[in-house]
Amino acid sequence: MKPQDALSPRNRITPGSLNVIYTAPGGDWSLAEMDFDGEPRVGCRWNGDINDPDDKGNPRSHSQGTWFIFPDAIGVPLAAMAKTFGHSGTPPTNS
């Protein structure tokens, strides 16, 4: 499942707020920012096979892809690191 398609539970994730900020090389897992229960939060998920829409990854509920929502003390620093280091795991270069 593509991480941007994991939008459940729909009554807790504000529509249009999901922003995938990091997907590991190979697509195994992702971090995302979103409004969850009306608050900005950071979540993580194992994507499963991102080329197979039937593979919902983990976590999932009722056959829908969901996100594990981090406590702010963990999620905020993880999001900052993901934005700093990007997809390659190294700091971005200034060109």
Using DSSP bridges, classify how beta strands 68-69 and 39-46 pair: parallel, antiparallel or unpaired.
antiparallel
Q: Which residues pair with 64 in a beta bridge?
A: 61
Annotated domain spans of the chain: 3-85
Instruction: Spell out the per-residue pLDDT of the chain, length 95, in tens.
Output: 999 999 999 999 999 999 999 998 888 999 999 999 999 999 999 999 988 889 999 998 988 999 999 999 999 999 999 988 775 444 444 44
Kindly report the pTM of this predicted structure. 0.84
Residue 26: both structure tokens together: 């190979």
